A and B are shown apart, each in its own frame.
Chain A
């Protein structure tokens, strides 16, 4: 059977960085990605990133992706398998995958799961009509393929994704009828919100969608105000004529492989659902299986890249590679702390506190 030192599952920001960090220290790495190109969700992020310079602040996601891809393809220790979907992790650590219509088996010494997240759905009447898309799908259509999702959009969710995608829609010439959010406050950065408001798009907080309507696809939506118990207030309904309803209501970690590997899982609402328990070096309760990025708790791309760094350095260290491992690891962990130190990081720190509730462990 084919063997490798490190297998990284998922070629998004976390997985790409993890592969680079492990390979640069000397480990042989196989990186798998189910799509036909690397980059994960970075390939549709046309906005400039926030955060510190070290995490590519000021760069657009699409450019960060190209940069990482270059580093990956220039490293002889990394083998990249695109269009390859990991299917299973067996008890003996063998990982099975499907690629190029072939069933492959691989026995890695360490496995890093960087499988990302999937979009959450929202219950409301007629929510299965064509024209109701996840925010990521809208970005894929317009930023990857250059196809507009429709003419007039209702955005559900005023977090950063809802705000950023609204702005991207306007850049593509699509009208945004309104942004609604059930919370009484705008969740995203106010700099994004004011940019959109200045362009004339109303943001209705304490609002929900009651139903969509239309024959074959969306023709409109009914929204209403919510009272302080989050119940719709009778008589406040508004009828919005839109042909797209974009849902930006959060993400859930994609953890199928963590469950399958037998990782101990914990429900952390702040992280978007069940996530594997892990130590600060990102090793799960299954020795040799690591997690980084959204798969270990939904955060954002900058944090995913630093987590990738931590995971990559950790596996390299556990395999005996690297010279300044302790300093490198400390520096990466410090960067992660710094990223989470602002008000936006409060939720993540709360989630981590719950995840680590049973005390810290150490790399085996």
Chain B
């Protein structure tokens, strides 16, 4: 959910952008991370563990922990917690460790 009224902060959001999450159109704001936009849209499951395929979400949100790796515009293993949103971006759930010949 987006915070609209905050006692201290004013959220100066950028312009509205559209991007794709597994083919579905989602809206976010310029300047925010992919993970923040997905979270605001209620999407918390970002990846799955390699062995047991447990759902995984973000954990650190600053690019340290690799819990949020996704395929972005065909490129696997993108840390969506620090990758900024761009218009028309294709964000997809990654299966396995990722392939480079897409």
A148 in contact with B1 (CB, 8 Å): yes
Q: Is A59 an interface residue (CB 8 A)?
A: no
B54 touches A128 (CB 8 A): yes
Decide if B99 is an interface residue (CB 8 Å cutoff): no
**A130-B1 contact given A136-B60, A137-B61, A217-B57, CB 8 Å threshold:** no
Question: Is B2 in contact with A136, judged by CB distance below 8 angstroms?
Answer: no
Task: Contact check, B39 vs A146: say whether CB atoms are below 8 A apart.
Answer: no
B59 and A133 form a contact (CB under 8 A): yes
A32 CB → nearest B CB, Å: 14
- Expressed in whole angstroms, the Cα–Cα distance for A129 and B36 within the complex equals 17
Taking CB atoms and an 8 Å cut-off, the chain B residues in 38-86 that contact chain A are: 39-40, 44-46, 49, 54-65, 81-82, 84
* B16: Cβ under 8 A from any A Cβ: no
The answer to whether residues A34 and B61 also contact, given A147-B36, A171-B6 and a CB cut-off of 8 A, is no
Contact of A171 among B7, B32, B33 (CB under 8 A): B7
Establish whether residues A134 and B44, one from each chain, have CB atoms under 8 Å apart when the complex forms.
Answer: no
Q: What separation, in Å, do the CA atoms of A144 and B39 have in the docked complex?
A: 13
Q: SS class of chain A's interface: helix, strand, loop or mixed?
A: loop
Instruction: Please tell me if B100 contacts chain A, counting CB pairs below 8 Å.
Output: no
Q: Chain B interface (Cβ within 8 Å of chain A)?
A: 1-3, 5-9, 11, 13, 32-33, 36, 39-40, 44-46, 49, 54-65, 81-82, 84
Chain A positions near chain B (C-beta within 8 angstroms): 34-36, 46, 60, 62, 118-119, 121, 128-134, 136-137, 140-149, 151, 171-173, 216-217, 254
Q: Contacts A141-B61, A144-B36 given; 11 further ones with Cβ under 8 A? A: A60-B8, A118-B65, A119-B59, A130-B44, A130-B56, A133-B59, A137-B60, A146-B11, A147-B3, A216-B44, A254-B64
The 4 closest A-B CB pairs, nearest first, are: A130-B57, A137-B61, A146-B11, A145-B36
